[in-house]
Amino acid sequence: MTIDYDVVIIGGSLAGRYAALTASQLRAKVALVEPITNGAFTKVNAPLEFIYHHALNHTSNLSKQIGDAALFGFHTSCASTLEKCKISVDTPQTMLYAHSIVSNLQEQNSLAVLAAQGVDVIVGNGQFQSSPHLSFAVDTRLLHARTYLLATGSSPAIPEIEGLQKTGFLTIPQVWQSLSSSTSPKQWVILGGVPQSIELAQTLARFGYDVTLIIEHPNLVPNIDSEMAQLLCSLLEAEGVRVFIKTSITHVRRIEDKKWLQVGDKAIETDEIVVATAQQPNIQSLNLAAVDVKWNQRRLLVNEKLQTTNPRIWACGDVIGGFELANIANYEARIALQNALFFPRLKVNYRHIPWAVFTNPMFAQVGLTEAQAKHQYSPDEVMVLQQFFKTLFAAQIQDETTGLCKLIVLRNGEILGASILGAQATELINVIAMAIAQTRKVNSLADLAPLCPSFSEIFEQIIQTWKQQKLNGNIAWQDCLESFFQFRRNWNF
């Protein structure tokens, strides 16, 4: 049997295209199989749908800033200089702006660009075959490779709620299509606590829609710091989002032109329901059972090297579970490719990989939360350092004083994790992520000399908090310092 490729990537996601380009740059011979859905190959629309949120969020931020213009001394048509202006936003026009961004990114991530970089692009649906040799069949063509990488992404998993299917609902990708219409729904109920549902709830509320967010699990988002979750929940409620935590829906029904949900002991009326509870892997047609690849309802089963139960097949991205976040998927793609193309020695380590909820203000987190750290280590060994954004000059100048930076460290200075809610949180978290990745201790942040004013000054303030806590907990060192300076004051030059 002749090996045609070093790796065949079964795509359908941005991570798949990223992996194909990376493999080509490593001079490997690579094929990318792009599936066909409803008679057309999968455009990058699906993976790039998060752009719609960012575009709408940017527009809502601009409208807020314009509305606050009087507070900064701008002459406006407001009744008084201290009154916020009322700004109306044309949602369909904003969607055209988002469409243009997606179109540009589609060009940058197009199959033609990948083909020009040396990737053998194959459009079509296929499945694995085990006999006589492991291969991937697309139509009548058999692709033989030394290794295979699954990057097929995932699709919304629909919860089993009585009446939901009959009543009808939207998934998050379909929301953006609905908002492009001039007759989009006015009342929205969003089911599920994932980053995308939180972002969508705030964005819709800022555009004047009536929004209810219903989450079944005890926290706003799984694995989020509990204090930050409460702050984020309060921010959503302050913007008009009704939030139900740890609440289940018993049934859904349609009464005339409205949809009704039974939420605990309350009945909620809405125009439209959005389902964002969980994801399921796109693997139904791949014939994985024939090649001994195991999975469950929510994810493909992989080891810490991202190898499936078939040692020649690897996987990355949300097909193996977790949030739909591009940075995590690309990190996994790099690990999986290195292991598939060379020697399988690299292991994933999510401790230094940040994730975020792109609300306004933003939330970002890396490593362990306070609760996780105190469960994993002795509570006496864990120190919590926190600083509010209102102490920063940059935050005051830009009127972005809502925010909190929380750093979790051991008494020896090892950084375990961080949670940041505030302006520039997604940029600030990268500094902590790099420190964790390089196993630097918290006092290494003292080497920074951040520009003033800037949001990075919060690290300088965190270090001062760290030093103060260390000093307060060491009575002997306090006595030593006092004796030293008393000696110096009494010294005769």
Distance CA 96, CA 113 (A): 25
The answer to whether 442 touches 397, Cβ cutoff 8 Å, is: no
Distance CA 173, CA 14 (A): 15
- How many C-alpha atoms does 207 have within 13 Å on its Cβ side? 25
Q: Is 193 annotated as a binding residue?
A: yes
The answer to whether 446 touches 463, Cβ cutoff 8 Å, is: yes
Q: Is 318 annotated as a binding residue?
A: yes
Q: Is 203 annotated as a binding residue?
A: no
Q: Give the phi and the psi of residue 408 in degrees, each rounded to 5.
A: -110, 120
Q: Is 107 helix (H, G, I), strand (E, B) or coil?
A: helix
Which of 298, 335, 297, 296 shows the shortest CA–CA distance to 315?
A: 335
Q: Is 419 annotated as a binding residue?
A: no
Q: How far is CA 260 from CA 211, 253, 276, in A?
A: 14, 5, 18
The answer to whether 320 touches 306, Cβ cutoff 8 Å, is: yes
Which of 160, 134, 183, 192 shows the shortest CA–CA distance to 8?
A: 134
Instruction: Give residue 489's Cα distance to chain centre.
Output: 56
Q: Is 192 annotated as a binding residue?
A: yes
Q: Is 153 annotated as a binding residue?
A: yes
Q: Is 417 annotated as a binding residue?
A: no
399: its two tokens? 């009127």
Pure H helices in 405-474: 425-437, 457-472
Q: Give the phi and the psi of residue 10 in degrees, each rounded to 5.
A: -90, 105
Distance CA 135, CA 149 (A): 12
- How many C-alpha atoms does 412 have within 13 Å on its Cβ side? 6
- For tokens 């697309």, what's the residue? 138
Most distant CA atoms of the chain, gap in Å: 95
The answer to whether 241 touches 201, Cβ cutoff 8 Å, is: yes
Q: Is 37 annotated as a binding residue?
A: no
- For tokens 């995590």, what's the residue? 328
Q: Is 317 annotated as a binding residue?
A: no
Q: Is 197 annotated as a binding residue?
A: yes
Distance CA 460, CA 439 (A): 19
Q: Is 107 annotated as a binding residue?
A: no
Residues making up the binding site for NAD(+): 192-199
Residue ranges for the known binding site for FAD are 126, 152-154, 318
Annotated binding-site ranges? 126, 152-154, 192-199, 318
